[in-house]
Amino acid sequence: MRTQAALARGIGVLDDLRERGLIRRQPDPADRRARLLSLTRAGRQLRDAVQAAIQQREERLLDRLPEEDRRGFLNALQALAALSPSEIGRE
């Protein structure tokens, strides 16, 4: 459940992204009360640049590990990422 304050912050973020030309907000033809969000060309370019920078930093960091340790670390991350929210909350 989201609080009203969290929702207001989220809307503010969307407004900022729209003002910066990174997203479009268009009426949903199936539900006129809803808005559909999509990336603009500038938004896609920014997303791609950020993803490339993250990938480069990950590679530089992982290059410091021996190959066997690197494989084990990545396998462990994949196993953790595959957990469902209910599995994460178990104690």
How large is the average pLDDT for residues 24-53? 95
**What SS3 class is residue 12?**
helix
Task: State the sign of the Cα–Cα–Cα–Cα dihedral 52, 57, 75, 83.
Answer: negative
Res 42: pLDDT: 98
pTM above 0.85, yes or no: no
For residue 47, pLDDT over 80 is answered with yes
Task: Measure the CA–CA gap between 10 and 34, rounded to whole angstroms.
Answer: 15
How large is the average pLDDT for residues 64-76? 96
4 versus 60: the higher-pLDDT residue is 60
